[in-house]
Amino acid sequence: HSKEAGKGDVHFFSVDMKSSTDAKRALEAEMREALEGGQLFLLFQPRQSLSTARVTGVEALLRWRHPQQGVLLPAAFLGDAEENGMIVPFGEWVLQQVCLMLLRFKAAGRVDLPITINSSYREFCRGNYISHIAAKLDEFQLAPASLELDIREETLLRNPHLNKPVLEQIRQLGVSLAIDDFGAGLSNLRYLQELPMQRLKISRGSVGSICPVTNTGDLARTLIGIGRSLHLPVVAEGVESLSQQNFLRQNGCDEMQGNFFREPMTEAELRLMLEMA
């Protein structure tokens, strides 16, 4: 911009815009500080087989112990981290921590418990994402099957032509892949259903994809059915009650994760639960 300055261009740069860039820069600096100052930590939430009651895997969930605001959930900072790019070093930190933990579990004889990490849109689109994961697995001499990646439905649908080759390379590595937050798009239907409307005018394009959603149970049943027809084991997330668990089991869901089984916990708590201590 300096080149143009004084040549008669008018640059609008309001106080608001300045303070918002300042705020963004400050936030990015805070995130860097979080990373370097050890304010990030992980909690782990196990998932359970609905048929055998065995723990089948553990998901790593990021937390930020903010010096002023206390412990922050991903919803409070991941959007900004995605925007300013800090999601990439955050993700590298998570992968490093999970590899170290897998190594500790391996040393304790637990090689049967895969750990899931969540992959963000921006990380997933990085050119060297796969080689980074491959290098880490190699560095720590870990079986690729001990790592699972959660990729959100939204991410998968955002870049269809780019995604498939990347996913195929991850599969070739031996890392397993899950579609996360599946049906989030459909849940908008549930919201629409709650509105006091009398008529729905469907577009020509959507006639081919009508979905008979009438209540939560039907939605879950429908999603389980989709998983079945895709030949994918279905994991129900966020299960909070026995009746939900029963419904899921009766409708052919394979695994569940949620506070009803276990809330996200520290590694020490997880070890106790697994009787590794």
Residue numbers at the binding site for ligand C2E (CB under 6 A): 45, 61-62, 73-75, 78, 91, 94, 118, 120, 150, 180-181, 237-240, 258-259, 264
Question: Of ligand C2E, Mg ion, none, which one sits near residue 57, judging by CB under 5 to 8 A according to partner kind?
Answer: none
How far apart are CB 64 and Mg ion at their closest, in Å? 17
Question: Of Mg ion, ligand C2E, none, which one sits near residue 61, judging by CB under 5 to 8 A according to partner kind?
Answer: ligand C2E
The Cα–Cα gap between 109 and 121 comes to 34
Question: Of Mg ion, ligand C2E, none, which one sits near residue 243, judging by CB under 5 to 8 A according to partner kind?
Answer: none
Question: Of Mg ion, ligand C2E, none, which one sits near residue 183, judging by CB under 5 to 8 A according to partner kind?
Answer: none
- Is 123 a binder of Mg ion (CB under 5 A)? no
Query: Which is nearer to Mg ion, 94 or 213 (by Cβ)?
Result: 94
The Cα–Cα gap between 204 and 216 comes to 26
Question: Of Mg ion, ligand C2E, none, which one sits near residue 45, judging by CB under 5 to 8 A according to partner kind?
Answer: ligand C2E
CB atoms within 10 A of CB 111: 14
The SS3 assignment for 254 reads coil
- Read off φ and ψ for residue 49, nearest 5 degrees: -70, 135
The Cα–Cα gap between 17 and 6 comes to 21
How far apart are CB 234 and ligand C2E at their closest, in Å? 14
- Is 118 a binder of Mg ion (CB under 5 A)? yes
Number of residues in contact with Mg ion, rule: CB under 5 A? 5
254, 51 Cβ separation under 8 angstroms: yes
Question: Of ligand C2E, Mg ion, none, which one sits near residue 165, judging by CB under 5 to 8 A according to partner kind?
Answer: none
- Is 237 a binder of Mg ion (CB under 5 A)? yes
CB atoms within 10 A of CB 16: 8
How far apart are CB 39 and Mg ion at their closest, in Å? 22
Query: Which is nearer to ligand C2E, 114 or 258 (by Cβ)?
Result: 258
For residue 108, what are its two tokens?
Answer: 């304790």
223, 186 Cβ separation under 8 angstroms: yes
The Cα–Cα gap between 21 and 92 comes to 26
Query: Which is nearer to Mg ion, 134 or 151 (by Cβ)?
Result: 151
The SS3 assignment for 111 reads coil
Query: Which is nearer to ligand C2E, 94 or 175 (by Cβ)?
Result: 94
List residues bridging with 64 in a β-sheet. Answer: 40, 72
As a 3-state breakdown, the chain gives helix, strand, coil percent values, each rounded to 5, of 50, 15, 35
How far apart are CB 28 and ligand C2E at their closest, in Å? 17
Sign of CA dihedral 48, 238, 116, 223: positive
For residues 166-185, which are near Mg ion according to CB under 5 A? Answer: 180-181
Q: Where on the chain is the footprint of Mg ion (CB under 5 A)?
A: 118, 150, 180-181, 237
